[in-house]
Structures are given as structure tokens and as C-alpha cells.
Amino acid sequence: DQQVKQNSPSLSVQEGRISILNCDYTNSMFDYFLWYKKYPAEGPTFLISISSIKDKNEDGRFTVFLNKSAKHLSLHIVPSQPGDSAVYFCAASASDQGGKLIFGQGTELSVKP
Amino acid sequence: KAGVTQTPRYLIKTRGQQVTLSCSPISGHRSVSWYQQTPGQGLQFLFEYFSETQRNKGNFPGRFSGRQFSNSRSEMNVSTLELGDSALYLCASSLMPSGGNQPQHFGDGTRLSIL
């Protein structure tokens, strides 16, 4: 039972354009959501998070949107840069279920110059 | 500021052996979580320690165990290794226990290969 799903294994975007990475979840008890970026041979790097009491959080080029009714979140990267090419994981946790992170399977983003 | 440090980076073992992996959290972080990453299962939660106590445990057999020391450093141990234990083992630390809306910060992992 996959509680967090990233249905697109890969995404290719032109440099300077917007990258939109999507994530769906099934557990309505999730109250904290995070995005991580991972390069090969490195651990995941925390990018941005959002609490369930918000619907948007912005940090520089990165914006996360949360639609609780649709159980959907997305990460927008504007403008996309070649250095953004990596695997992006969304993760979710439920504070009353111990808060452990449940990860999606990841989306590989390729930003072409 | 030093990040999460995991040692060793690479390890090769044979079936039936046991292994101990080490994790030093970011200075001041008291919560340490362990995850297993495999191509088929993705990133899966193993367990979390806070103040030397296991707070949470994932769906892994009892061969997987861990502990945390008073300086917040953590070790995980896998006994009677199986081929399926080949994976990247990641450690993450945070200021407070998970569930407090605190991001977890990951180390670069230990790549364990079982022959």
C-alpha cells in the first residue's frame, strides 16, 4: 500500500522554464510534507516543506503547493537550471503516527541547456 | 556547520555475517532516524531514536536493530545478513523528534553489498 505516490518517473524541462513535480497521497492524517533533492552517490538534501495548515510555501525559486481536498502537492521550480537535474522525492508524515517520513518513489528531473 | 556523517561509505559482506553502521548527527540534533533505500522498494523507514530511546520502528525483521548514545550518535546493526539486505542505508537527524514538523537532514549513506 503506497501512501505517497509520484506517478511520473521522469521529467525533462528546458533551462529557464518552469518545472512542476507532482505528488499524491492517500493518508488523510499526514500533516507535514517535504521535498528532497538527491544526486547520485549523495544523500537526499532537504529543499522545502509545508504544514497542512498552509496551502503554499515559497523559498526562492522553489514553491510547494498543497491541495488537501485532492490529497495532492506539487513543487514548482522557476526558473529551472541545469544544476537542478536530480531525483526529487516528496515525503509526508503524520504527527500522531510517530512522524516517520513516508517517501514517494521519486521523479528524475532533467533540465536541458 | 558539519552535516550528518555516516561511516563507512561502502561495505561488502557475505551472507550470514553481521554489520554495524554508524551515524553522527548534526551538532545539536537529538533525533536520529534510519532509512533503507533499494531500487524496488524506494526509501523505507527503519527506526528512530531520541534521547537514547527508540521512538518508532518500521516494518523490518528483528535482525535490524539500533541504538543511540548519550552524545546522540547512533548505530544500526543487521545480523544474519541476506542478499536482500543489499541497499543504501541512510541516516537522518533533526532537532526534535519527528512529528514536530521539523525537517530531517540526511547523510550520504552507507552502501552495503551482500555477496
Each residue's pLDDT tens digit, B12-21: 999 999 999 9
Sheet with strand B64-68: strands edge to edge? B5-7, B19-24, B74-78, B64-68
pLDDT above 80 for A98: no
**A44 has a chain B CB within 8 A of its CB:** yes
Does B58 contact chain A (CB < 8 Å)? yes
Q: Which residues contact A22 (CB under 8 A, 6 or more apart)?
A: A6, A7, A8, A72, A73, A74, A107
pLDDT digits (tens, 9 = 90+) for A78-94: 999 999 999 999 999 98
CB half-sphere exposure, B68, CA atoms < 13 A? 23
Q: Are A90 and A104 in contact (CB under 8 A)?
A: yes
Q: Report the C-alpha gap between B69 and A45 in whole angstroms.
A: 25
- Do B37 and A105 form a contact (C-beta atoms < 8 A)? no
Give the nearest partner residue to B106 out of A43, A93, A105, using CB atoms. Answer: A43
Over range B82-95, report the average pLDDT. 95
Which grid coordinates belong to A101? 517520513
For residues B96-103, average pLDDT: 76
Mean of pLDDT values over B47-76? 95
Work out the average pLDDT over A5-28: 97
Q: How many beta-carbon pairs below 8 A join chains A and B? A: 68
Cβ pair B104:A104 closer than 8 A? no
pLDDT class of A97 with cuts at 50, 70, 90: confident
Cβ of B100 within 8 Å of Cβ of A95? The answer is yes
C-alpha separations of B6 from A43, B21, B26, B62, B110 in Å:
10, 8, 11, 22, 7
Angle at the Cα of B80 from the Cα atoms of B14 and B72, rounded to 5 degrees: 100
Number of neighbouring beta carbons within 10 Å of residue A96:
8
Q: How confident is the model at residue B96 (pLDDT cuts 50, 70, 90)?
A: confident
Contact between chains at A104 and B107 (C-beta distance less than 8 A)? no
Q: Determine phi and psi for A97, rounding to 5 degrees.
A: -120, 30
Query: Cell 522545502, residue?
Result: A48
Taking alpha carbons only, the member of B106, B53, B113 closest to residue A101 is B106
Taking an 8 Å cut-off on Cβ atoms, the answer to whether A99 and B98 are in contact is yes
